[in-house]
């Protein structure tokens, strides 16, 4: 049993009426203590308790009754004041009162009204006074014409209530001024309740209050009697003899326990000492009733017992023993008139407690290490945390060496003869050990480090002065280490998943004790925990690097060259470093440019892979020269197919929720068409710096399905800026979307900002250093193609118009200084125009555009798309598009609202050189 569980009697004072007797105990076993007897019976004590409780209840009931009477009188008077004030105000503010006071015979007109109001209001009187206080009307006619006292405040325009004492009677009254339309006092109205009537009402309530008090007294007295009777039942009617026998049993237990108990009176005399107290304190047989100063207790213990203060497990020497002493003051009503002390022998537990304290310190150290090592997923930082935790709690110097492959995030190899010092920490400066970054080689077969690597467990070198194998590897270095004061070593291989990652060396120096076997277990446990953290950091670093490399390769490595837009872009991943946001700039035929911004739900490697798939799909669909709504429709179908898991893909994260914005800008006229799938609308900044968020049709995110995609159109003046972004730019935990849009508006509202300056301002103003979501930003400033470099012809639907159009186009090329391109352009135009008139539908139009390249476009009203094929021997046609493909650098077809456009593009300054052999074979047929 513990000390606290064995001494409940040490804290209790003796009950009322009990006394101590010095007769011999009748309990089992020898005893030198005292026993307790009782001269009073339990019934006598119960009667005393009952009378005391009844007296207390009687006093409480009397006080409560008096308080209720006083409160009732106060409440009645307050109610009378409110009732009188309400009656007086109602009569004074009645519509005819002021008029009657100013008319002749006011008393007669107001007398009947006052009597009726007095009956209706339930007051004892209502009096109408003139401005001098003379009664004009009163419910008591005998008072008419007499002057009322104490109404001066009302004559001055202030209503008031009071308890009035005087003639004609004591009353609670209210006096209210009567004012005319100009707020001038023309009279007064007084209403009240006579004090005699009020007291009569209160006196009527007094019997009820007294009756309630008497009932409460009877209930309390009955409850006290029931409690006393229950007390007798719970003690089973035990008399003095039975209670004495019970206390004799307690006395026997007191002297049988293996814990010393000492009871000391207020005069410093010993009242009781059990057998264990005699043994531990070496008390004489006649210690009872002797003073503490007369006993040989030792100065420390005597001072503690005489101090009059409580103590808990106070360790004090007593002879050749160490005692744990607990003391508690005893006495009625908290007055200290004695002391109870208990004693436990802790001499035998001293050594065990020292070992337990050491073990507790080691466990605390390992717990702290678990909290501090591995806080980051960085290999080098984790090694540094290991050294910081171990110094100086475990060692004076700690070094950590790791394999180069581990530092690079690669799988550790079997070659462990060479490592790189990654961390070094010492309790004092000037350590002679090799610094961080140097290579540590293990060349001697019998050194402690090599032995630890070979055995796969820690090696202890208690005294380095005697370790010849350690000194033989580097005698000069060993000498410097010993001169520094290092004298003991534990070297531990750093292993995870059965593979060696490095080595950890713990050194002690100066006055620190040398390492022991107990320290080896702590060092191994610490290194094992650190090894798991380092291996996790290595694997995370490798996977993170792979994911970042993958994402960087999936994102555009650079913006393509084009003439329609001046573009700047930014991409900032979230804290994870890998995300699913992306952007793209795609040149299209006819100097048009497609701008794309998308957002994949989630972060990490899977989001990056999904982003790459969608970006590739957009690139492929854009090569078909689709409109924005058609492209998003195809992309939505693809996401729906990808989002349908197979039997082996139940755990694959869904793609539904991906958003995308696709825009096509045409520099011929500055026309822009846009379509968005669940994405935020772009910001448009006009040349004057005004910012708008156009109301574009919004379709559901990709993968939802079942909804058509719509296209919005914008006409952008030259110099306008189009700002496309993902929600990570404007939304965060600290602000909602509306606040973010307002910030974006104020940041880009500058007329002279370039796209690069706009990107820099947005990233600086709106984003923290490490955003919680990915951010993709694309800013494009529009340019217009010079109208002089655009030529258009409407061609009659007749083959005879081909030669005339060809001649006009040739003349325009001459004006542009492109005589070298004339032949190939005429050939391309002839084939395309003839094909449109022969197989297409009106209207037919020819347009040539001059920019960084020369583009020739032929449009017609047919939706039939020509295709390149090799003509047969007997075919009359089929060779035109083949010739176009030989003389043009690129060509293709795109569909418009009414018909199609076939285009061919030629690079300026370079004469096309078709394959003559193939061309000859094609023409020969």
Sequential DSSP letters for 248-288: HHHHHHHHHSSSEEEEEETTSBEEEE-HHHHHHHT--TT-T
Q: Is the pLDDT of residue 334 over 50?
A: no
Q: Is the pLDDT of residue 758 over 60?
A: yes
What's the distance, Cα to Cα, between the start and end of the chain in Å?
A: 115
pTM: 0.53
Q: Is the pLDDT of residue 505 over 90?
A: yes
Those residues whose C-beta lies under 8 Å from the C-beta of residue 24, and which sit 6 or more positions away, are 31
Average pLDDT, the chain: 80
Nearest to 816 by CA among 853, 865, 857: 853
Cis peptide bond N-terminal to 669, omega within 30: no
- pLDDT band at residue 348, thresholds of 50, 70 and 90? low
Residue 68 burial (10 A CB sphere; 0-12, 13-18, 19+) = middle
Gap between the Cα atoms of 254 and 260, Å rounded: 9
- pLDDT band at residue 659, thresholds of 50, 70 and 90? very high
Residues forming a β-bridge with 732: 735
Q: Which residue has the higher pLDDT, 745 or 221?
A: 745
Gap between the Cα atoms of 925 and 917, Å rounded: 13
Distances (CA, A) of 155 to 129, 178, 708: 10, 9, 84
DSSP state of 119: H
Task: For the beta carbon of residue 721, count every other beta carbon within 10 angstroms.
Answer: 27
Those residues whose C-beta lies under 8 Å from the C-beta of residue 385, and which sit 6 or more positions away, are 372, 373, 374, 375, 530
Gap between the Cα atoms of 666 and 661, Å rounded: 17
pLDDT confidence of residue 825: 87
- pLDDT band at residue 20, thresholds of 50, 70 and 90? very low
Nearest to 133 by CA among 177, 182, 180, 198: 177
DSSP state of 603: B
Q: Is the pLDDT of residue 133 over 70?
A: yes
Q: Which residue has the higher pLDDT, 645 or 483?
A: 483
Q: Which residue has the higher pLDDT, 318 or 639?
A: 639
Gap between the Cα atoms of 559 and 550, Å rounded: 18
| Length of the chain measured in residues | 925
Q: Are 127 and 137 in contact (CB under 8 A)?
A: yes
When pLDDT is averaged across residues 58-84 and rounded to a whole number, the result is 75
pLDDT confidence of residue 509: 92
Mind listing the pLDDT tens digit for each residue in 138-171? 877 877 878 888 788 877 888 888 877 777 777 8
pLDDT confidence of residue 277: 84
pLDDT confidence of residue 16: 35
pLDDT confidence of residue 743: 93
Task: For the beta carbon of residue 757, count every other beta carbon within 10 angstroms.
Answer: 14
Gap between the Cα atoms of 778 and 756, Å rounded: 10
Tokens describing residue 565: 């837009």
Cis peptide bond N-terminal to 843, omega within 30: yes
- pLDDT band at residue 12, thresholds of 50, 70 and 90? very low
When pLDDT is averaged across residues 788-808 and rounded to a whole number, the result is 90
Q: Which residue has the higher pLDDT, 516 or 352?
A: 516
When pLDDT is averaged across residues 52-71 and rounded to a whole number, the result is 73
Tokens describing residue 532: 């798991």
When pLDDT is averaged across residues 228-254 and rounded to a whole number, the result is 67
């Amino acid at each position: 049993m513990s000390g606290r569980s064995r001494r409940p009697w040490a804290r209790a004072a003796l009950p009322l009426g009990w006394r101590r007797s010095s007769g011999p105990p009748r309990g089992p076993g020898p005893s030198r203590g005292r026993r307790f007897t009782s001269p009073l019976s339990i019934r006598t004590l119960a009667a005393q308790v009952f009378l005391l409780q009844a007296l207390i209840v009687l006093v409480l009931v009397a006080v409560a009754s008096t308080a209720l009477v006083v409160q009732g009188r106060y409440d009645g008077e307050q109610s009378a004041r409110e009732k009188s004030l309400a009656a007086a105000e109602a009569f004074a503010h009645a519509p005819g009162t002021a008029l009657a006071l100013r008319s002749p015979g006011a008393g007669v007109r107001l007398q009947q009204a006052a009597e009726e109001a007095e009956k209706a209001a339930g007051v004892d009187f209502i009096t109408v006074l003139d401005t001098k206080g003379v009664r004009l009307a009163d419910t008591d006619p005998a008072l008419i014409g007499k002057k009322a006292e104490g109404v001066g405040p009302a004559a001055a325009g202030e209503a008031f209530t009071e308890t009035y004492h005087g003639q004609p009677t004591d009353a609670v009254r209210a006096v209210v001024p009567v004012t005319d339309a100009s707020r001038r006092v023309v009279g007064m109205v007084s209403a009240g309740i006579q004090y005699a009537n009020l007291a009569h009402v209160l006196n009527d309530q007094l019997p009820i209050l007294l009756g309630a008090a008497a009932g409460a007294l009877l209930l309390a007295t009955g409850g006290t009697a029931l409690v006393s009777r229950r007390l007798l039942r719970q003690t089973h009617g035990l008399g003095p003899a039975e209670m004495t026998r019970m206390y004799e049993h307690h006395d026997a237990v007191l002297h049988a326990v293996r814990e010393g108990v000492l009871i000391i009176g207020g005069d410093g005399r010993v009242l009781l000492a059990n057998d264990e107290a005699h043994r531990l304190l070496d008390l004489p047989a006649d210690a009872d009733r002797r003073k503490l100063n007369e006993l040989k207790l030792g100065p420390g213990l005597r001072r503690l017992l005489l101090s009059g203060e409580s103590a808990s497990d106070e360790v004090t020497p007593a002879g050749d023993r160490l005692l744990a002493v607990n003391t508690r003051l005893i006495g009625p009503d908290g007055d200290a008139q004695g002391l109870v002390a208990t004693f436990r022998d802790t001499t035998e537990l001293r050594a065990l407690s020292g070992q337990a304290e050491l073990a507790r310190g080691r466990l605390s150290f390992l717990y702290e290490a678990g909290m501090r090592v591995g806080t980051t997923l960085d290999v080098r930082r984790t090694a540094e945390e290991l050294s910081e935790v171990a110094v100086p709690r475990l060692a004076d110097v700690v070094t950590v060496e790791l394999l180069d492959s581990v530092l690079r995030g690669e799988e550790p190899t079997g070659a462990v003869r060479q490592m790189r010092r990654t961390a070094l920490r010492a309790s004092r400066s000037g350590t002679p050990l090799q610094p961080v970054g140097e290579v540590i080689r293990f060349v001697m077969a019998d050194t402690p480090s090599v032995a630890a690597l070979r055995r796969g467990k820690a090696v202890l070198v208690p005294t380095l002065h005697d370790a010849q194998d350690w000194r033989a590897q580097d005698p000069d270095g060993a000498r410097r280490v010993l001169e520094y004061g290092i004298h003991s070593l534990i070297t531990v291989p750093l292993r995870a998943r059965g593979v060696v990652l490095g080595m950890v060396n713990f050194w002690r120096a100066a006055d620190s004790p040398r390492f022991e076997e107990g320290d080896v277990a702590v060092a191994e446990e610490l290194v094992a925990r650190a090894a798991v953290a380092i291996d996790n950091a290595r694997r995370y670093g490798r996977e993170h690097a792979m994911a970042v490399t993958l994402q960087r390769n999936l994102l555009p490595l650079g913006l393509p060259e084009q003439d329609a837009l001046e573009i700047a872009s930014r991409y900032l991943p979230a804290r994870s470093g890998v995300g699913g946001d992306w952007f793209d700039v795609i040149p299209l035929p006819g100097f048009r440019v497609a701008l794309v911004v998308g957002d994949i739900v989630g972060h990490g490697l899977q989001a990056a892979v999904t982003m790459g798939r969608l970006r590739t799909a957009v690139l492929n669909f854009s090569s078909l020269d689709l409109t924005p709504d058609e492209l998003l429709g195809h992309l939505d179908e693809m996401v729906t197919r990808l989002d349908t898991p197979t039997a082996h893909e139940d755990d694959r994260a869904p793609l539904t929720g991906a958003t995308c914005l696709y825009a096509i800008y045409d520099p011929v006229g500055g026309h822009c068409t846009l379509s968005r799938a669940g994405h935020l609308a772009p910001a448009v900044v006009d040349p004057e710096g005004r910012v708008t968020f156009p109301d574009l049709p919004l379709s559901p995110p990709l993968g939802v399905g079942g909804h058509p995609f719509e296209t919005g159109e914008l006409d952008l003046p030259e110099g306008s800026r189009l700002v496309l972004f993902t929600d990570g730019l404007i939304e965060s935990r600290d602000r909602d979307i509306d606040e973010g849009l307002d910030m974006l508006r104020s940041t880009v509202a500058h007329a002279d900002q370039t796209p690069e300056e706009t990107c820099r301002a947005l990233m600086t103003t709106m984003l923290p250093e490490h955003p919680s979501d990915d951010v993709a930003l694309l800013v494009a400033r529009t340019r217009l193609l010079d109208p002089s470099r655009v030529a258009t012809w409407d061609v009659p639907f007749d083959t005879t118009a081909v030669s005339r159009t060809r001649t006009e186009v040739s003349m325009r090329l001459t004006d542009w200084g492109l005589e070298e391109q004339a032949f190939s352009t005429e050939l391309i135009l002839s084939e395309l125009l003839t094909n449109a008139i022969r197989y297409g539908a009106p209207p037919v139009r020819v347009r040539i555009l001059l920019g960084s390249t020369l583009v020739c476009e032929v449009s017609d009203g047919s939706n039939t798309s020509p295709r390149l094929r090799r003509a047969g021997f007997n075919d009359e046609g089929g060779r035109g598009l083949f010739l176009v493909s030989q003389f043009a650098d690129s060509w293709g077809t795109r569909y418009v609202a009414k018909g199609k456009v076939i285009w061919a593009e030629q690079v300026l300054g370079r004469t096309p050189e078709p394959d003559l052999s193939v061309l000859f074979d094609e023409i020969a047929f």
